[in-house]
Chains A and B, each alone.
Chain A
Amino acid sequence: MRTADVVVIGGGPAGMSAAVAAKETGAEDVIIIERDDSLGGILKQCIHNGFGLHRFGQELTGPEYGEKYEKMVEDFNIEVLVNTAVTSLSDDRIVTCVSENGFVQIKAGAVVLAMGCRERTRGALNVPGDRPAGVITAGTAQKFVNIKGYMPGKEVVILGSGDIGLIMARRMTLEGAHIKAVCEIMEDSGGLTRNIVQCLNDFDIPLKLHHTVTKIHGRDRVCGVTVSAVDDNLQPIAGTEEYIECDTLMLSVGLIPENELTKEAGAEISLKTKGPVVDENKQTTVDGIFACGNVVKVHELVDFVSEEGEMAGRNAALFAMGRPFVQDNINQGKKHIPEKKGVKHLIQGDRKTVICTVCPRGCSITVNMLGDGTYDVQGNTCPRGEKYAIKEVTAPERTLTTIMCASNGQMVPVKTDRPVPYDKLFDCMRAVNEKTLELPIKLGDIIIKNIEGTGADLVCARTFNLR
């Protein structure tokens, strides 16, 4: 049987940062086991930006954020087993995994669980009606669009207004789909306010609060859904039914930590988070088995996942080396300001509200246009905020993130290197889709200079080597 100091299960953001931290702490033999064909996890399909503001002080797309950690994994010479699935984990830290090369068993000094989460499905919601094709979770749809390059729907109703649903509403719209409505059963959206602005409001997509889907129609493919208002107990109100014709019902109704291995190893699961109970060292109730990221609880930002991964990785290394845990003092006393969520920050009326995206603080800024061509700006906490808010009200700009097809069929994430005028988004999309890429290509390579005369360059957001 092979041995290793630290085995990390899962090569997404949590796993990569845990492995790097374990190596940095002094563990010699660190292995990441990943079931997909490359590192990155869900970041690979999260081609939108908004990642890394806390961690790297810059706004990155998912693939860019992932590549920073992939680079570290490579630089630290960490062994990565890809296309490899862990089939069992014992409480004495024997990891059994399977791949095309057969079975491998590894006796680990310490294990870090970083398997992430899965999406809640139609079945868990008990939505009545027909059972056709076209009912799809947002993450699966995202994989089809951003990784496989296929459209899973054209006329779409989205149930659930969490961030994944909002991001997919914009993504599908940019690719030519028509998002007919986003329904949210709660009285406000749980998604970030900036996502509501940039993913729904930008494209006039209606957000129906306190509404849910009460019936699915269509024998073969979805042909429509019935949407109903709900009362304060979240029960549908009779008489409020509305039929919306569509070919797709996209579900963004929550994530569930994936803890089959955790349970097998005998670690206690929290009824509240559905993830393992972990102590201040990120150790589960089983000695030497640590956990981090969305397998523990669903995190809001990947930046926090990385941070937790580091803690787990470091302590796993210390455990494997037989040394005492070190309390985390990097982040002591530092408290993250939670980003603003929902529509409640968007004050309706003649004064325009802007959620500043310059920094994670996300100030609610109101802008009042005065008669003399100047502006009364309230609510900002820095001069950059004032500038951003006036720009947003007068000539809004957005960073375009999308994918481009390479000649071998590979979908490559791309973005504009600076925001482009909002009015030019679809022109830029057309320019992107008229072009085919040749591989290899590196992150940051310029693909289209001065795209559509916007002054922005379209750049590659992930490195692809030729296979």
Chain B
Amino acid sequence: MYKAAIIGGGVIGAMVARRLSAYDMNIVILEKEQDVAMGQSKANSGIVHGGYDPLPGTLKAKLNIEGNKLMEQTCRELDVHFRRNGAMVVAFNDEEADGINELYERGIKNGCIGLEILNGEDVQKKEKHLSERVKTALYVPSSGVVCPYELTIEAIGNAMDNGAELLLNFEVDSIENRDGLYYIESADGRKIVSEYVINCAGLYSDKIAAMIGDNSFFITPRAGEYLLLDKEASYLTDMTIFRVPTKMGKGVLATKTVDGNILLGPTSIDREDKEDLSVTDSGLSFVKSKEAEFFDDVPLDKVITQFTGLRAHGNKGDFIINMPQKGFVNVAGIESPGLSSAPAIGVMVEEMLINDGLSARKKANYNPCRVPKKRFREYTQEEKSKLIIENPAYGRIVCRCEEVTEGEIVEAIHRQPGAVDVDGIKRRTRSGMGRCQGGFCLPPVVEILARELGVSPNEVNKKGSGSNILFGRVKGGKK
């Protein structure tokens, strides 16, 4: 019996769980995949938006501004990297310049601080690789970057440190409301009971809401395709560069991720299938052509990978955060600026439950801070030496591109929420994220996972059941 069950282990579920874990009550996070941050939280631009874009008066505007303000402290507490690198919305012609003025006015109304309109010369001074054809730009100093999956993993870990439970591979199949309690059953037959349900199921939040008879909204998967460049191309831009938004979103952007790679994208095309994460020739070509408008020379020979994220696009034009019936909260349609708003959404849901009469006290021993994880590559030589003396596994470099040690990989497996697969190691340590894309570290990572989880290397997979890496021992062929 739980007080609150949070459906979905993405950044929204994570932030809600973290807030609720401050109270003296049993909470559980239900995640359908074998790891957290497996939906749009693992594949988005990682931008903490300034808040100039959403229409004034919307939840998007309010939560974006509040979330942006909260992000710094949230990241400090969770030991997650966050950097206010600033952003520029650039205009190439008069029509777009009008758009810039409109965004400026909107931003002021929303409470976005520090906005400035720059002329072409000032733009060039700030980012010299931008095309000289940029006529004017909206400068947004409060814009930042964060690693979305790191934020999710650490926030869930923090909730777990404070007593929250995490049930993985728990795909919610049915929800029944009896006598003021919610009876939730998973596809594999596990059952739990909870007083509150918070629906943070991303792409599937419409399906979850429908289980209690709420058919008031639906979610469309809107694909965003990206290209990621080698850190060697990091000179291209430091700030996030946007075009003037259209009704399909903020358009193709260029940014430097908090880890120092240039990220190009996304496209914005609705798909039929909520599991279709394929990259397309047309999508990638579109991104490349749009980037070529920003920069005279895009170093496309430095592309190290491509990926697609699916936005949970709701049909209401705004975030859908409501309580359709007692004890059941929808947090749906959380597309951009969802990541930026996430910390504020956590607070908002907490307040909704309190206003609903949540009877629980704050924990005396609640700790909002995570024990920092080891980040070998960022330490000074003295710190590294000390660490190796304590544990020699930190002296064994497994991923040469990103300088990740065996000690960090072992920590990622045993620190909650622990990595159980190759991609989980990648998101937690960056092993395999560099220019060789796992060519060198895949064999040792498979071995370390097998050893630490006590399974055969054959059972180690990439990202869930069916994604095995190996097919047994070599044993010879037949003619």
Which residue numbers of A lie inside 8 Å of B, CB to CB? 35, 83, 85, 87, 96, 98-103, 118-119, 121-124, 126, 128-133, 136-137, 139-140, 143-145, 147-154, 173-177, 214, 219-221, 247, 402-403, 405, 425-426, 429-430, 432-433
Contact = CB atoms under 8 A, between A and B. Distances in A.
B439 A128 contact: no
Given A123-B305, A124-B303, A133 B468 contact: yes
A139 B462 CA distance: 19
B384 A432 contact: no
B471 A151 contact: yes
B443 A151 contact: no
A433 B468 CA distance: 24
Interface in B213-241: 228
Nearest to A130: B278
Contact of B439 (A118, A174, A175): A118
Nearest to A409: B473
B478 A176 contact: yes
Contact of B478 (A87, A100, A122, A426): A426
A83 B306 contact: no
A293 to B, nearest CB: 17
A402 B475 CA distance: 11
A223 to B, nearest CB: 10
Nearest to A425: B479
B437 A123 contact: yes
Contact of A174 (B304, B395, B464, B477): B477
Nearest to B227: A126
Interface string B293-332: 0000000000111110000000000000000000000000
Contacts of B381: 96, 103
Interface residues of B, number: 57
B275 A219 contact: yes
B474 A150 contact: yes
Given A131-B307, A133-B463, A426-B479, 17 more contacts: A35-B400, A99-B396, A101-B392, A103-B385, A121-B437, A124-B303, A128-B280, A133-B469, A140-B440, A140-B443, A144-B443, A151-B473, A154-B471, A176-B476, A220-B464, A403-B474, A426-B477
Q: List the 5 closest A-B pairs by CB distance, nearest first.
A: A176-B477, A220-B466, A133-B462, A123-B305, A100-B392
Contacts of A147: 443
Contacts of B471: 150-154, 247
A85 B462 CA distance: 27
Contact of A126 (B303, B393, B457): B303
Contacts, number: 157
B436 A118 contact: yes
A151 B472 contact: yes
Contact of A150 (B397, B465, B470): B470
Contacts of A100: 388, 392-393, 395-396
A137 B392 CA distance: 30
Interface of B: 228, 275, 277-281, 283-284, 303-307, 381, 384-385, 388-389, 392-393, 395-397, 400, 403, 422, 435-440, 442-443, 447, 457-458, 461-479
25 contacts: A35-B400, A96-B381, A100-B392, A101-B395, A103-B388, A119-B436, A123-B304, A123-B437, A128-B283, A131-B279, A131-B307, A133-B422, A140-B440, A144-B470, A148-B447, A150-B471, A150-B473, A152-B470, A153-B471, A173-B477, A174-B476, A219-B277, A221-B467, A403-B474, A432-B476
Choose among B304, B397, B462, B474 the residue with the greatest number of A CB atoms under 10 Å from its CB. Answer: B474
A136 B397 CA distance: 21
Identify the interface centre among B393, B457, B465: most chain A CB within 10 Å of its CB.
B457
Contacts of B462: 132-133, 220
A131 B43 CA distance: 13
B476 A139 contact: no
A100 B407 CA distance: 11
A103 B464 contact: no
Nearest to A96: B381
B400 A85 contact: yes
Contacts of B385: 102-103
B389 to A, nearest CB: 6
